[in-house]
Every structure is written in structure tokens, then in C-alpha cells.
Amino acid sequence: MDAALPGLPTECKPCHTMSMAVVANLARVFLPVVDLLYPPRCPACGAAIAAQDGLCLECWDSLAVLSSHAPDVETVATPVYAATLYNETSRCLVLSYKHGGRIALSRLLARLIAARMPDVVLQKQQPLLIPVPLHRWRLWQRGFNQAALLASDLAKLGKGEVLVDGLVRNRRTPSLGGLGREARERALTGAIALNPARAQLIAGRDVILVDDVLTSGATSHACMTALRSARPAHLAIACFARVEGIG
């Protein structure tokens, strides 16, 4: 590849903007074809809906959406910005997203999370959005990190700057589903650590830990413990759903 000439931009911004507009127009043109081949279905219940990116009215009504920018709970003095309470509808959405491979749901879930988060002050440095990490084998099996996708979409919505590798998962842990808090904490002991290469970047910054679901709080506690070793200015949690009563 030829090196860029000194003094010349490496990317033509007008061309980039034009290319993005072309892609957006093509997406609109082919959307009816996509809808014909893959009729829009509610990702929670499977009912027919009008557009690919949404829910049916019944599922919207049953989703326990929280309101306002104020954190609804604080877990160990850490603000938690949860979009919804964990119920049957949010559970179906998370299962479709995380285990059903419906990664396009990330945009919908991120919009709901973003509505709960405070606005970013333009004069301040943006907060770092750090996803809960997956072990490399789990990432290989699933093909994506659901928390990282949510963090990326939250960044696109102006809620911060993604730092995808701020935390690392040193060892593979068993599935935490069905385990109590104490069993989860034992399974996670020593499994999540700060990425030493990112410690200096995290120091003094506002940090928001991003995950899909907050259940017992064991995973978020392990992540927060690791992040505090970098001495961030402030820590918070943003998630799509949280279990009622946690905190």
C-alpha cells in the first residue's frame, strides 16, 4: 500500500459522507425485499410486526420500562442505569439477542438503555464505556460479545467512548445461570481483571460498565473491583434489564 503524501489528508471526508449516504439509500431501497424474504417478527413473542427493528404492541406494553435519567438503584454505592426490570418479555429479548444470534437487537436495547442514562456534558471528557468481558473460548463459541455490541451502539448514541478491552477474563467460568449469589461469586473469583495496558487511560476518567442483564450483581461486583484498581473518577453501571430488588 502506498504511503500517504505528507500534508495530505488520509481520508476524504466529503467522499466518506457521500459513501455513507449511498449505503443508507441502498438500505432503504432493499428494505422491502428484506421484509418480503424475512417478514418482520417480534423478537420477544414472534408475532408479525410492521418493521424489523421493534416489538409488537403487546410486548411493548408488558416491557417494564423505567423512566428518568436518575439511577433507579445503587449497588454498593454504584449508580445503576437499567432500561427495564427483568420480566418474561425482557428475558425473551435477552435470550433472542444473546443466545439466538439476533445481534441487530443491540440497537433497540441500546436506545432503551440510553434513554435512562444522563446526557454527556460536552465540555467534559466523555465517559468510558467498558463492556463486561467474555473469555476467548466463550467469544469463539458465541461469535460476539453482547455487552461490547451494546457499548458500541451506546457510543453511537453519544453516551461515551468505547473501551472494549478495559477488562479481561483470565479464565473460563461455568454458566452462571441458576447459581445463587455466593456460588456466582466463587465461580468469578480471580476470573475478571483490569487490562494493565489500559490502566493509565482509565485513571481519573468516568467509567460506565455495560452489560445486558444485572441479576445477582456478582459479575458487576467483580468488574467494579477490577476497575477500581485503576482509580477512575466515577463508576456506574448501564444495562438493559435488572432483577427487581437488587441493590
Q: pLDDT class for 5, splitting at 50, 70, 90?
A: very low
Higher-confidence residue: 68 or 99?
Answer: 99
Cα distances (angstroms) measured from residue 128 to each of 104, 165, 208: 23, 11, 6
Higher-confidence residue: 245 or 220?
Answer: 220
If DSSP codes are grouped into helix, strand and coil, which group holds residue 80? Answer: strand
Task: Read off φ and ψ for residue 197, nearest 5 degrees.
Answer: -70, -15
Residue in this structure with the C-alpha cell 488520509, named with its chain if needed = 10
Pairing of strands 234-242, 78-85: parallel
Domains belonging to the chain, first-starting first, are: 58-242 (3.40.50)
19-69 pLDDT, tens digit per residue, is 544 444 544 544 444 444 456 788 888 888 766 678 898 998 999 888 765
Check: CB of residue 84 under 8 Å from CB of residue 112. yes
| Dihedral angle sign, alpha carbons of residues 144, 150, 153, 154 | negative
114-168 pLDDT, tens digit per residue, is 999 988 876 578 999 999 998 888 888 888 999 999 999 999 999 999 999 999 9
Q: Cα separation of 234 and 239, whole Å?
A: 17
Q: Which segment of 17-21, 37-41, 81-85, 91-95 scores lowest on mean pLDDT?
A: 17-21
Q: Cα separation of 176 and 66, whole Å?
A: 26
Q: Cα separation of 215 and 243, whole Å?
A: 5
- What residue type is assigned to position 50 of the chain? A
